[in-house]
Amino acid sequence: MQNDQESVAFGRVGVFWLFLKAMDDYYGNCIDKVNLPQSLLNDHMRLMPLTEMTRYFGIIEEQINDELFIAKGCSKIQLNNFSPLCSVVCSSPVLFVALIRFNTLFKSLQSGTKVTTVRSGNIVKWSYQTKLAVSQERLNDGIVAAWVFVHLLREYMSKDYSPITIHLPGSRIGKVGELERIFGCDILWNQAKTEVWFPASALEKYSTANNAYKGKIRIDKVDVLNYIDIPDKNDFSRCVYELINYSRAFGYPKLEFIADLLMMSPLALQRRLQKHQYSFSELVKFQLLYNLAPQMLVKGVLIEQVGIELGFNNPQSFTKAFKKAHNLTPKQYLEDVNEFNGMTIFSI
């Protein structure tokens, strides 16, 4: 059971999908084994509780039964399976600019992460640090992060490029030299954080392979927040608000489902929300009817599909709830709302 001092941490669904697809490509049957709703996996910037990611990691690990399964599977990561990495990061023709964008984006992918790049003479040191308390989870997370960064380097270097060395925050796993062979470089264990070292000369590398990623990136104004916003893990009511968004992939958000994610009783969840001057039904209304529904409608999603995406049993129940919240039917809302203009974030 959680108490008031405990917190909720999140990661982006797209990062989990990047990992899951790589595992499936390497081992097979991982996507089917996890059996997550496709609507969730398609929504790359939706927040997912780290406890859920860890649970699904465990399901895959149990099936594979190899302590190096993450390192081996992530060798198959393809950055184009996580659209923001391609459209925002790899659209840069030069690694230096891509690296700046990568660090900015990476900070918004998981709660409590710190990403920096330091140049030391002829070497550049990219570092990644999290506040995960469990040492094995911290190591696994570091291995995934290191592989994602190595694959970014390969976008600008060569498809089999290996860095100078990698630092990992944990004790050795596998046989001596085994992980070194997987990454193709030296590994330093029991470090304070994950680091990937590579030559400074690579910063000017230009790759024509990323031509497919070039062009204007059009993001709706409200969607910009999805690229930069991640809740403080100690802001309990806001975290529940995001858990409601996550849970709608499994049906209409239920108090019991959210309480289970938080490892507390439904009554304890209600009481904690009351301390923050909210009720669970209020947060569901704010998330589904005031936040998500208007965005989807303005983007042109059919009313029937909006109801399905939000977990309603049928279009009629969605329309009734929407009208009660807005005093307008979804159709009337669309007729009254001003044209929703997007904005260009980058132009390459």
What pLDDT digit, counting tens, does each position of 131-141 carry? 888 888 999 99
CATH fold of 10-214: H-NOX domain (3.90.1520)
Could you tell me which residues are beta bridge partners of residue 110?
Answer: 11
Overall size of the chain counted in residues: 348
CATH code: domain 219-344 is 1.10.10.60
d(CA 82, CA 88): 11
User: What pLDDT is stored for residue 149 in this prediction?
Assistant: 97
d(CA 67, CA 60): 11
Residue by residue, DSSP assigns 174-208 as SSTTHHHHHHTSEEE-S-SSEEEEEEGGGGG-B-G
Whether 10-214 shares its CATH topology with 219-344 is answered no
DSSP state letter for 116: E
- Burial (CB count <10 Å: 0-12, 13-18, 19+), residue 2: middle
Could you tell me which residues are beta bridge partners of residue 220?
Answer: 342
pLDDT at 215 over 70: no
- Burial (CB count <10 Å: 0-12, 13-18, 19+), residue 118: exposed
Global pTM reads 0.86
Q: Give how far Cα 119 sits from Cα of 100, 122, 127, 199, 201, Å.
A: 13, 7, 11, 9, 11
What pLDDT digit, counting tens, does each position of 217-239 carry? 555 555 666 667 788 878 899 99
d(CA 66, CA 64): 6
User: What pLDDT is stored for residue 221 in this prediction?
Assistant: 53
Helix (H), strand (E) at residue 347: none
Residue 241: name the closest of 201, 207, 288, 198 by CA: 288
Mean of pLDDT over the chain: 88
Question: Sign of dihedral through CA atoms 292, 294, 300, 306?
Answer: positive
Q: Where are the domains of the chain?
A: 10-214, 219-344
d(CA 325, CA 284): 12
pLDDT at 205 over 90: no
User: What pLDDT is stored for residue 223 in this prediction?
Assistant: 61
Question: How many other CB atoms are found less than 10 A from the CB of residue 219?
Answer: 18
Enumerate residues 6+ apart whose C-beta is below 8 A from 118.
Answer: 124, 125, 127
User: What pLDDT is stored for residue 253 in this prediction?
Assistant: 97
What pLDDT digit, counting tens, does each position of 152-195 carry? 999 999 999 999 999 999 999 999 999 999 999 999 999 999 99
Joined together, the tokens standing for residue 151 give 């694959």
In b/e form, how buried is each residue of 70-87, taking b as 16+ CB within 10 angstroms?
bbbbbbbbebebbbbbbb
Give the model's confidence band at 216: pLDDT under 50 very low, under 70 low, under 90 confident, else very high.
very low
Cβ-defined contacts of 83-87 (< 8 Å, 24+): 83/14, 83/44, 84/14, 84/44, 84/45, 84/227, 85/18, 85/148, 85/152, 86/213, 87/213, 87/217
d(CA 26, CA 75): 8
Percent of the chain with pLDDT over 90: 71
